[in-house]
Amino acid sequence: MASASPVRLDLVLAHWCPHCDPISTERAPVLAKRLGVPLRLLDIDIREQERVADRLVEAHGDWSDDYLIPQVFLEWSDGRIQHLLTGTPGSTASTRASWEFLLGLEPSRVAELPGPRR
């Protein structure tokens, strides 16, 4: 049986959030390209995208009624969804550092991550 491969990167965001835009909106396309997958943006201020984002975060992310953003997920060909990152409250420097960590990994190492980077 062949091993699973990444199929899509999901970014849950809001454009008013400085951790999301520009930090995550600039870095997520770079990670998606490195992984060879499409990027899906889920804006929580657009009702139909919010519903999808809420289900994704509730099932696989850091859920609360007023959950933190951004949150980043990698979907795999075997149906698994891997939570890669949740933004850190407060200073954007921590969120930026989490992205830099992800972008510094070899694409094959992303699958080995134990959980989200905060």
CATH of the domain at 59: 3.40.30
Residue 57 in any domain: the answer is: yes
d(CA 31, CA 114) in angstroms, rounded, equals 18
Instruction: For tokens 């060879």, name the residue.
Output: 36
Residue 17 in any domain: the answer is: yes
For 78, the domain range is 6-112
Please state the rounded mean pLDDT for residues 51-68.
Answer: 97
Residue 1: enclosing H or E segment and its boundaries? none
**Angle at Cα 43 formed by Cα 89 and Cα 85, nearest 5°?**
40
Residue 20 in any domain: the answer is: yes
Q: Which tens digit of pLDDT belongs to each residue from 7-40?
A: 999 999 999 999 999 999 999 999 999 999 999 9
pLDDT at 118 over 90: no
Predicted pLDDT at 112: 85
Residue 80 in any domain: the answer is: yes
Whole-prediction pTM = 0.94
% residues pLDDT > 70 (the chain):
96
Residue 117 in any domain: the answer is: no
pLDDT at 45 over 50: yes
Residue 65 in any domain: the answer is: yes
Residue 118 in any domain: the answer is: no
Tell me how many domains the chain contains.
1
Instruction: For tokens 């990994």, name the residue.
Output: 105
The alpha helices in the chain, defined as continuous H runs, are 25-35, 47-60, 92-104
Local confidence band at 3 (pLDDT 50, 70, 90 cut-offs): confident
Could you give the maximum distance between any two Cα atoms of the chain, in Å? 45
